[in-house]
Amino acid sequence: MSNILSVQESRIENERKTGEPVFLSRNRAVKLLLRSRNQKPVIDIERGLFFTESFRETEGEPLNLRWAKALYHYAEKATVYLEEDQLLAGRAGKPGRYGVLYPELDGDILDEAIRHLPERETSPFDIDPADAEIVEKIISPYWKGKTFHEDLLTAFPADTRRLTYNEDGTSRFIVNETASYRSSIQWVHDYEIVLKKGISGLRKEFAEKLETLDPDSAVDTMEKKPFLEAAILTCDAIVLWAHRHAQLARSYAEKETDPDQKAFWLRIAEASEHVPEFAPRSFYEALQSQWYVQMFSRIEQKTGTVISNGRMDQYLYPYYRQDIDAGVMTEEDAEELLESMWVAMSEYVDLYLSAAGGSFNEGYAHWEAVTVGGVDRDGVDATNELTYLFLRSKRNFPLNYPDLAARVHTLSPRRYLWEVAETIKEGSGFPKLINDDEVIPLLLAKGARIEEANDYSVSGCSEVRMPNRDTYTSPCAYINFAAALEMTLFHGRMLKFGEEEIGIDAGPVEDFETFEEFLEAYLKEQRYFIRHAFVQEYQIIRLRAQHFASPLGSMLHELCRAEYKDLHQPVIPGGIDLGYFEFIGYGTVIDSLAAIKKYVYEEKTVTIRELQEAIAANFEGREQLRNLLKNAPAYGNNDPYADAIGKRLDREALDFTARYSKELGVHLDLRLVPFTSHVPFGKVVAATPNGRLAWMPLSDGSSASQGADRNGPTAVLLSNFATKNQGCRDRAARLLNVKLSPSCVSGDVGTEKLVQFIQAWHDLRLWHIQFNVLNTETLIEAQRHPEQYRSLLVRIAGYSAYFTELSKDLQDDIIARTEQQAV
């Protein structure tokens, strides 16, 4: 192994030698973390149970009101937990890592799922036998026949269904909807309004509006009244929940003999009596208020890729400044509070029941996007002392949460870029970077006002959200375009699925004489896939409104309040609907088409039939051909030959969405963000003409195919730039993974080089970038001795997770990414 290690690798080496975990932070949060880190999560059934009990009582009532009643029932009945050392109250389940149940989504498969969850390969969960019985006897029976998942299974026409599901309703991993395992995605609440007015201020406004409704108006009766009643009840529910924490803390304090611990419980009690009901009086109360809201959102609905925590360094800054200036809090106190939140974030784990959901979110991914840096609403650099504290905390307190996102813009201060680079060098994959100078113009082009666009937050892997303006929370499609290529070659069929014609026969490929003919056939298949993703979305938008409501999310959104509409409604006037579809396998398809162009149509050394045979044989006995194909021009090398193909694919997809999004009333933007879908997607795709073997992962995001980027990381940036259609509006995130060897960024010289690399990325107006800074040997060692590498964090697809909690396939994929030796 190289003798230069990243900070993370050195820490793990020390841990291996001494048997003691090493943290730079030495506070209560560390004790908490050590209790739950790497613990197998348990299922907590209370959210599922209390929603079921309430829903049974409210059949026939308006859905948003039913949801609010269920939230109130939960707030009244659920077990309240407080933990020694945890400074922030508010968890929705048992101590340690836990997941909760959302039976309204996919409760039909819940009874079956809990039998397998403890043993499944990726992201297993334990369940207490008594809880499993409640699931089987009470929760599951109520929801069977009523879930969103079941309705979705029968919602698509036959040709769409063929691309989406197998006979048994499991995913085909071709045109993959993601709505069946998450009721919404990515959201950023207006946390500021809660901090400013308190929940009680909002409640007062709702109550006043309720008084003014016109009883003769059908709209007031049918829409406004239930909206307001639901909002008021939700306000009461969240305040009740906080107050129950206060009561418990007081009861602990009464029994406590140790004066420090007594003071600890009393502080929690006083804070929970005050926030989120009223405006916070301190930094601590501001954090506590935000956390109650954030956790209650989780109880409200399953947001795959979570509700973003927003720009925490902005909305918390006034409270931080006030307490530091008044001398009532030190920087270290603030850091300890933040780290208590990071532990709380890491203990709530998103539980996916279906195989598709699980395989898309390996490593218990649920993001927890916290955004720092960037410009303020006025376009001026927004970096402040709290920004630096977040970065420092990420270096001192290595943990998979929060998923820290650092915004970068033209005038980002040098100190900021330096500290960002130093934090990246720690090696756990944080922060990911998002480019203001790419994102803000695109948001403006989509209709945002400049102050809204400037104030975006990062959510999920790499997406952006504007509080009070985005109104689209629908999960959308992940599309396997390597499957489209295989179907082009095999007349609508795939080796995995035998004779069944799943796609279309795009023409007699064996007889084509030019690459242009072949490319047109592929693009026909590509369009066919996108068309079905749009059909899926058409149905999903309508169905979600019948199954889900979000009274909390809606009351924290200006447009929903103005229109009395729930966030799950298909259209909220004035909103900007940022939907998407995902191009998965971008590098794989570009490289395959480049190889076909070069060897089949230009050099004419290979025929399409030979390719078909080699693919069917998974290149067995055809190593020479495979080597030739692997050496074709490839994306990620700043090679115009390959990049021109990539730009064409991108353009065609963008043209489709520019034409057909409008009728859906949504921006269904093109994105290149894989999650971990490139692994299960690869498992249905036979060998590809770029020399990739059958069932191996596809390329991820806008990264090059594994090992295909041979010209260093700057060439990867340049290819990314060259394949983008800058003039098109309907585009969104392109996720880019770069793996660096610690030696190439070591010392101050290395930090300087990394800063310059980040500046080059910024100047090319690329959307996103994230780094793994580690030695490939470390990963290989961790595969061999997982017990010694339990704390090793790696960057995956817009999030970091513990390497040893990933499937072997995903581990191999990360190992196979090119380790760049120089920036």
Active site residues: 461, 463
Q: Is 139 in the site for ligand 8X3 (CB under 6 A)?
A: no
- 454-482 residues labelled b (16+ CB within 10 A) or e (exposed): bbbbbbbbbbbbbbbbbbbbbbbbbbbbb
Q: Smaller CB distance to ligand 8X3: residue 779 or 796?
A: 796
How many residues in the shown chain lie near ligand 8X3 by CB under 6 A? 11
Q: Smaller CB distance to ligand 8X3: residue 285 or 403?
A: 403
Cβ distance 701 to 716 under 8 Å? no
Q: Is 305 in the site for ligand 8X3 (CB under 6 A)?
A: yes
Q: Smaller CB distance to ligand 8X3: residue 28 or 311?
A: 311
Instruction: Return the amino acid letter for 463.
Output: E
Distance in angstroms (rounded) separating the CA atoms of residues 249 and 288: 14
Distance in angstroms (rounded) separating the CA atoms of residues 637 and 618: 26
Burial tier of 60 (Cβ tally within 10 Å: 0-12, 13-18, 19+): exposed
Q: Is 265 in the site for ligand 8X3 (CB under 6 A)?
A: no
Annotate 716-763 with DSSP letters as a single string: HHHHHHHH--TT-SSEEEE--EEEE-GGGG-HHHHHHHHHHHHHHHHH
Instruction: Return the amino acid letter for 663.
Output: E
Instruction: Write the CA distances from 649 to 461, 481, 530, 595, 655, integer angstroms.
Output: 23, 10, 12, 15, 10
Q: Is 399 in the site for ligand 8X3 (CB under 6 A)?
A: no
Q: Smaller CB distance to ligand 8X3: residue 487 or 698?
A: 698
Give the H or E element holding residue 588: helix 586-595
Instruction: Work out the angle at residue 796's Cα, subtended by the Cα atoms of residues 416 and 343, and round it to the nearest 5 degrees.
Output: 70
Distance in angstroms (rounded) separating the CA atoms of residues 210 and 227: 10
Q: Is 185 in the site for ligand 8X3 (CB under 6 A)?
A: yes
Distance in angstroms (rounded) separating the CA atoms of residues 706 and 713: 13
Pick the piece of the chain touching ligand 8X3 (CB under 6 A) from 49-57, 342-350, 443-451, 456-464: 456-464
Of 176, 723, 725, the C-alpha closest to 483 is 176
Residue nearest to ligand 8X3 (CB): 460
**How far apart are CB 432 and ligand 8X3 at their closest, in Å?**
11
- 105-116 residues labelled b (16+ CB within 10 A) or e (exposed): bbbbbbbebbee
Q: Smaller CB distance to ligand 8X3: residue 463 or 700?
A: 463
Q: Smaller CB distance to ligand 8X3: residue 123 or 289?
A: 123
Residue 87, SS3 per DSSP: coil
Pick the piece of the chain touching ligand 8X3 (CB under 6 A) from 316-324, 459-467, 537-545, 640-648: 459-467
Chain positions 430 to 449 lying near ligand 8X3, rule: CB under 6 A, are none
**How far apart are CB 179 and ligand 8X3 at their closest, in Å?**
10
**How far apart are CB 403 and ligand 8X3 at their closest, in Å?**
10
**How far apart are CB 209 and ligand 8X3 at their closest, in Å?**
34
Residue 207, SS3 per DSSP: helix
**How far apart are CB 673 and ligand 8X3 at their closest, in Å?**
5
Q: Where are the beta strands (DSSP E) in 526-573?
A: none
Tokens encoding 52: 């079921």
Among 279, 391, 483, 673, binds ligand 8X3 (CB under 6 A): 673
**302: which DSSP letter?**
-
**How far apart are CB 304 and ligand 8X3 at their closest, in Å?**
6
Burial tier of 726 (Cβ tally within 10 Å: 0-12, 13-18, 19+): exposed
**How far apart are CB 798 and ligand 8X3 at their closest, in Å?**
5
**How far apart are CB 354 and ligand 8X3 at their closest, in Å?**
15
Phi, psi of 17, rounded to the nearest 5 degrees: -75, -45
Instruction: Write the CA distances from 510 to 324, 460, 489, 515, 547, integer angstroms.
Output: 73, 43, 8, 12, 48
**How far apart are CB 471 and ligand 8X3 at their closest, in Å?**
16
**HSE (side-chain half, CA atoms, 13 Å) at 722:** 20
In the stretch 568-597, what mask flags binding to ligand 8X3 with x, by CB under 6 A?
Answer: ------------------------------
Instruction: Return the amino acid letter for 768.
Output: H
Q: Is 675 in the site for ligand 8X3 (CB under 6 A)?
A: yes
Q: Is 461 in the site for ligand 8X3 (CB under 6 A)?
A: yes
Q: Is 304 in the site for ligand 8X3 (CB under 6 A)?
A: yes
Q: Smaller CB distance to ligand 8X3: residue 4 or 664?
A: 664
In angstroms and rounded to an integer, the radius of gyration of the C-alpha atoms of the chain is 26
Distance in angstroms (rounded) separating the CA atoms of residues 71 and 293: 13
Chain positions 739 to 798 lying near ligand 8X3, rule: CB under 6 A, are 798
Q: Smaller CB distance to ligand 8X3: residue 304 or 467?
A: 304
Instruction: Return the amino acid letter for 477.
Output: A
Of 55, 59, 60, 80, the C-alpha closest to 70 is 55
Distance in angstroms (rounded) separating the CA atoms of residues 766 and 50: 45
Tokens encoding 70: 């269920």
Q: Is 680 in the site for ligand 8X3 (CB under 6 A)?
A: no
Residue 382, SS3 per DSSP: coil
Among 93, 276, 460, 712, binds ligand 8X3 (CB under 6 A): 460
Q: Smaller CB distance to ligand 8X3: residue 187 or 264?
A: 187
Q: Is 650 in the site for ligand 8X3 (CB under 6 A)?
A: no
Q: Is 463 in the site for ligand 8X3 (CB under 6 A)?
A: yes
Cβ distance 120 to 359 under 8 Å? no
**How far apart are CB 123 and ligand 8X3 at their closest, in Å?**
16
Pick the piece of the chain touching ligand 8X3 (CB under 6 A) from 253-261, 460-468, 623-631, 768-776: 460-468
Cβ distance 238 to 199 under 8 Å? yes
Q: 501 Cβ partners below 8 Å, 6+ apart?
A: 491, 492, 493
Pick the piece of the chain touching ligand 8X3 (CB under 6 A) from 119-127, 178-186, 374-382, 632-640: 178-186
**How far apart are CB 362 and ligand 8X3 at their closest, in Å?**
13
Distance in angstroms (rounded) separating the CA atoms of residues 180 and 35: 33
Pick the piece of the chain touching ligand 8X3 (CB under 6 A) from 108-116, 374-382, 458-466, 568-576: 458-466
Q: Smaller CB distance to ligand 8X3: residue 235 or 673?
A: 673
Q: Smaller CB distance to ligand 8X3: residue 460 or 750?
A: 460
**How far apart are CB 173 and ligand 8X3 at their closest, in Å?**
15
**How far apart are CB 721 and ligand 8X3 at their closest, in Å?**
22
Q: Smaller CB distance to ligand 8X3: residue 114 or 307?
A: 307
Chain positions 607 to 646 lying near ligand 8X3, rule: CB under 6 A, are none
Q: Smaller CB distance to ligand 8X3: residue 229 or 463?
A: 463
Residues of this chain that bind ligand 8X3 (CB under 6 A): 178, 185-186, 304-305, 460-461, 463, 673, 675, 798
